[in-house]
């Protein structure tokens, strides 16, 4: 029996990740104080059970559980009382592992690879800018006493 080690870029069978995804963090605000029977109706209308009742007052208890199904604002009565938005600068990432590596390790390794790729892009940009600056000035930065012909600058 032979064992082969490779990476997911070659074939999906070598990828330790099953499913990944992200979504913007939902944000719910109660515009008015919702109490009593109305608070109980709000708790029951949400299939994700995001709302709770504390001291007979409705509160947003589990905002991360919201699937943005919009049931809490579907009826005009609720739309006037509940504000449902998404935070555009906050994300919930989901990573499922095949079991070959734990999901936190996968994310850490992926971020290391991404960091390395960003470093390569930054180095290439720096080199391109240095090359352009050298040719735009008409002066060789390594030998500033030597001027370049215009034909060398192109």
Pairing assessment for the beta strands 17-30 and 82-97 based on DSSP bridges = antiparallel
The arithmetic mean of pLDDT across residues 86-91, rounded, is 92
The answer to the question of residue 4 being in a domain is no
The arithmetic mean of pLDDT across residues 93-110, rounded, is 87
Lowest mean pLDDT among 2-16, 109-123, 137-151: 137-151
Mean pLDDT taken over the chain: 85
> Does residue 35 sit in the same domain as residue 80?
yes
The answer to the question of residue 8 being in a domain is no
The answer to the question of residue 58 being in a domain is yes
The answer to the question of residue 89 being in a domain is yes
The answer to the question of residue 27 being in a domain is yes
At 128, is the secondary structure helix, strand, or coil?
helix
C-beta of residue 53 within 8 angstroms of C-beta of residue 40 = yes
Q: What are the tens digits of pLDDT across the range 35-83?
A: 999 999 999 999 999 999 999 999 999 999 999 999 999 988 888 999 9
Residue 91, classified by CB atoms within 10 Å of its CB into exposed (0-12), middle (13-18) or buried (19+), is: exposed
Rounded-to-integer distance, Cα 83 and Cα 80, Å: 8
The arithmetic mean of pLDDT across residues 6-29, rounded, is 82
> Does residue 131 sit in the same domain as residue 68?
no
> Does residue 117 sit in the same domain as residue 91?
no
The answer to the question of residue 1 being in a domain is no
> Does residue 58 sit in the same domain as residue 76?
yes
Domain count, the chain: 2
Flag whether pLDDT at 147 surpasses 60: no
Range of 133's domain? 102-154
C-beta of residue 72 within 8 angstroms of C-beta of residue 42 = yes
pTM over 0.85: no
> Does residue 67 sit in the same domain as residue 41?
yes
> Does residue 84 sit in the same domain as residue 111?
no
């Amino acid at each position: 029996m032979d064992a082969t080690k490779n990476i997911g870029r070659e074939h999906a069978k070598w990828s330790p990740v099953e499913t990944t995804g992200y979504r913007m963090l939902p944000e719910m605000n109660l515009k008015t104080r919702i109490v009593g029977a109305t608070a109980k109706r709000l708790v029951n209308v949400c299939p994700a059970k995001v709302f709770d009742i504390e001291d007979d007052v409705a509160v947003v208890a589990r905002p991360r559980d919201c699937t943005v199904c919009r049931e809490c604002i579907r009826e005009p009565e609720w739309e006037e009382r509940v504000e449902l938005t998404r935070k555009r600068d906050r994300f919930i990432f989901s990573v499922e592992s095949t079991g070959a590596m734990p999901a936190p390790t996968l994310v850490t390794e992926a971020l290391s690879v991404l960091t390395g790729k960003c470093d390569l892009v930054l180095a290439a940009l720096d080199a391109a800018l240095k090359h352009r600056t050298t040719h735009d000035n008409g002066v060789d930065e390594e030998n500033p006493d030597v001027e370049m012909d215009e034909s060398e600058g192109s």
